[in-house]
Amino acid sequence: MTPADLSRALFDLVTASAERRRASGASVSLELTVDQVALERPKLREHGDWASSIALRIAKQLGTNPRELATELAEGLADVDGVQSAEVAGPGFINIRLDAAAAGALAKSIVDAGDAYGRGETQAGRRINLEFVSANPTGPLHIGHTRWAALGDAIGRVLRAAGAEVAHEYYINDAGSQMDTFGESVLAAAKGEPTPENGYPGQYIADLAAMVLEREPHLLELDDDVALHTAREIAYELQLGEIQQSLARFNVHFDVWTSERRLHAKDDEGVSAIDAAVERLRAQGHVYDKDDAVWVQTTDFGDDKDRVIRRGNGVYTYFAADAAYYLDKGDRGFEHKIYLLGADHHGYVHRLKALAGAAGDDPERDIEVLIGQLVSVNGAKLSKRAGNIIELDDLQADLGTDALRYTLARYPADSPLAIDPELLKRRTNDNPVFYVQYAHARTAAVARNALAAGVDRSTFAPELLQHETESALLGALQEFPRIVAQAAELREPHRVARYIEELAGLYHRWYDNCRVLPLGDEPVGDLQRTRLWLNDATGQVIRNGLDLLGVSAPERM
């Protein structure tokens, strides 16, 4: 019996109780769906497999007291197939214990479901645009971008696992003064001149300059303006390509790469997407003219001040591109937009929410802005190429993709994080990623050894899974779909990481107590075959969890 089956049984009992009360003339105002019948794991295993507080929540709606309703529901649960007992505790909690066969049946269900186990429909019907990283194409990705790459990709994975349609999007900030400064820095390096004031330093600029000269050998013979444009465009193409390659090596893939330049480009009638966006906001009644400038009245939606969208000299502000980009996402059919921004972007939260309101959307429903905190690396050397940052490529080369991604996804985005490289290189149990991957490798080793010993899955007798470590392991396996749904709803993939760490611990304890392989000349029996199902189910869930974090599940370590 799965948690979903048990929730359905409780829901049916509650519905039947409400109907009986209505038939007797009682006033009943029950508003409940099966998804709202939540189950929890008791803190103490002796209290059973599951607990429900549904009686406490709805007793008033049914015109009764919680303990009386809980007693009624517990009596009904006792007649449900697969339920061994149901007891009332405290003011109206229900502790439920499943019989061994019903609890153990989950192992086969998981193996049969395979990669699909844990996936659900709680986010079904939602089209979500998830924008993350979006680093300027003026330099290599650094540790801050790395955290968002790992977290953003994992958030997208859990949202998809929960049924949402998600597009990973990278916004290329390839317009504005920073691009000119970038071009000037590359051209100066090509000429052998010092870095311009406020320019971009680092060996990577010299490397780009060399590649630009290789692509355009006559660069230094061109007029200054043409040379600057040429250096900027070639270097931009090369740097963006490097960013894309770095992300691909990090197992992060984007569905859409949107160029800011596209928003500034004029159509055949001389109108840009930014021009059109300003007029659309004006039509909504939130744009006004003052001091020769054009303003958006974002204070209507909680911003601390109105924002200039076009200066008195006719030049658009960066906010104008934000507006055009937001509207563009909606035009592409994305009803919900999630922005993942760095720690230095707190000021953007109210601004973007106000922009959503000015566009006619609901700022509390249609847009989310997640702010990530700083991450540091203890004892790490600065980049040899950039000189003043820690690059993604350097971290990945030093620690490996799996260790880095797992660590960055293991903590909430709003918590500062310090990475210990020496810990992540250890092949010991105090290294979380090793601990989990080793558990998966152990399940694979057990399966290989079982095959060699003649133990297969030809028989499944779940009633034999009665050891206390088997009960605990099955209880944890049941939790995985709920953990995935919760991680998606809260945008917190670290919940998956912490869950599979707990699952790994339960598996190791089970492994120490329950043998899959027969001892000596002991014949292969149904217990060994059934335990192989449980072993393989555990490996499947760990594998599914690691995949949601973008981390591999090795079969040998």
Cα–chain center distance at 74: 37
Spatial distance between the Cα atoms of 68 and 59, rounded to a whole number of angstroms = 9
Lowest mean pLDDT among 20-34, 179-193, 440-454: 20-34
Separation between Cα atoms, residue 173 and residue 325, nearest integer Å: 11
Confidence at 26, pLDDT banded by 50, 70, 90: confident
Q: Parallel, antiparallel, or unpaired for β 336-341 and 307-310?
A: unpaired
Do 543 and 551 meet the contact criterion of CB atoms below 8 Å apart? Answer: no
Residues β-bridged to residue 418: 376
**pLDDT at site 377:** 86
SS3 99: coil
Residue carrying structure tokens 């899955």: 457
Do 491 and 412 touch, CB atoms closer than 8 A?
Answer: no
pLDDT at 382 over 60: no
Mean pLDDT, the chain, integer: 93
Beta strands 293-296 and 93-98 are unpaired
Q: Which structure tokens are listed for 320?
A: 């104008």
Residue written as token pair 């190791």: 508
> Stretch 170-179: mean pLDDT, rounded?
94
What integer is the mean pLDDT of 11-18? Answer: 94
**pLDDT tens-digit readout, 59-90:** 999 999 999 999 999 999 999 999 999 999 99
Distance CA 301, CA 308 (A): 15
Q: Which two tokens stand for residue 479?
A: 């939790």
Say if residues 139 and 202 touch (Cβ distance below 8 Å).
yes
The pLDDT confidence band at residue 112, using thresholds 50, 70 and 90, is very high
CB distance 155 to 120 below 8 Å: no
Q: Give the number of other CB atoms < 10 A from CB of residue 516.
A: 24
What pLDDT, on a 0 to 100 scale, did the predictor assign at position 390? 86
DSSP string, 370-401: EEPPPEEETTPPPPTTTSSS-BHHHHHHHH-H
Question: What is the mean pLDDT of the segment spanning 20-28?
Answer: 89
Q: Which two tokens stand for residue 260?
A: 């800011």
Beta bridge partners of 368: 338
Who wins on pLDDT, 374 or 329? 329
Q: Has this prediction a pTM greater than 0.85?
A: yes
Cα–Cα distances (Å) from 275 to 147, 281, 361, 455, 555, in that order, read 35, 10, 20, 70, 55
Cα dihedral sign, 62-65-70-71:
negative
pLDDT at 368 over 80: yes
* 418, 420, 421, 427: CA torsion to nearest 10: -140
b/e map 364-380, b = 16+ CB within 10 Å: eebbbbbbbeebebeee
Residue type, 35: D
The 367-371 sheet, strands edge to edge = 256-259, 165-172, 127-131, 336-341, 367-371
Considering the chain, what percentage of its residues have pLDDT values greater than 90?
83
Burial class (CB in 10 A: 0-12, 13-18, 19+), 221: exposed
Distances (CA, A) of 393 to 186, 210, 383, 385, 552: 21, 20, 9, 11, 19
Confidence class for position 381, pLDDT limits 50, 70, 90: low
Positive or negative torsion for Cα 57, 58, 63, 66: negative
Q: Tell me: pLDDT of 430 over 90.
A: yes
Q: Are 54 and 10 in contact (CB under 8 A)?
A: yes
Show the tokens assigned to 195: 């870095």
Stretch 39-43: mean pLDDT, rounded? 84
Q: Which amino acid is at 90?
A: G
Helix (H, G, I), strand (E, B) or coil at 200: coil
Whether the per-residue pLDDT at 385 is higher than 80: the answer is no
| pLDDT band for position 383 (cuts 50, 70, 90) | low
pLDDT above 70 coverage of the chain, percent: 98
Instruction: Give yes or no for residue 56 having a pLDDT over 80.
Output: yes
Q: Which of 119-128, 347-356, 528-537 has the lowest mean pLDDT?
A: 347-356
Average pLDDT over residues 96-101: 89
Query: What is the torsional sign of CA 191, 195, 196, 199?
Result: positive
Is 96 within 8 Å of 6 (Cβ atoms)?
A: yes
What is the per-residue pLDDT for 48?
85
User: Residues with Cβ < 8 Å from 322, sequence gap 6 or more?
Assistant: 351, 352, 355
Please tell me which residue, 213 or 300, carries the higher pLDDT value: 213
In the predicted model, is pLDDT for residue 280 greater than 60?
yes
Whole-number pLDDT of residue 373: 83
Lowest mean pLDDT among 253-262, 340-349, 474-483: 340-349
- What's the rounded Cα separation, in Å, for the pair 200 and 386? 9
Q: Are the C-beta atoms of 555 and 444 separated by less than 8 Å?
A: yes
Residue 162 · residue 489 · CB < 8 Å: yes
Give the CA distances from residue 333 to residues 340, 357, 367, in Å, rounded to whole numbers and listed in that order.
Answer: 20, 17, 14
Q: What is the C-alpha to C-alpha distance for residues 168 and 30, in angstroms, rounded to an integer?
A: 40
Predicted confidence at residue 190, as pLDDT, reads 98
Residue from 274, 277, 298 nearest 286 by CA: 298
Closest to 263 measured CA to CA, from 216, 214, 319, 183: 319
pLDDT of residue 384: 56
Question: Domains, the chain, ranges and CATH?
Answer: 3-98 (3.30.1360.70), 132-264+373-425 (3.40.50.620), 427-548 (1.10.730.10)
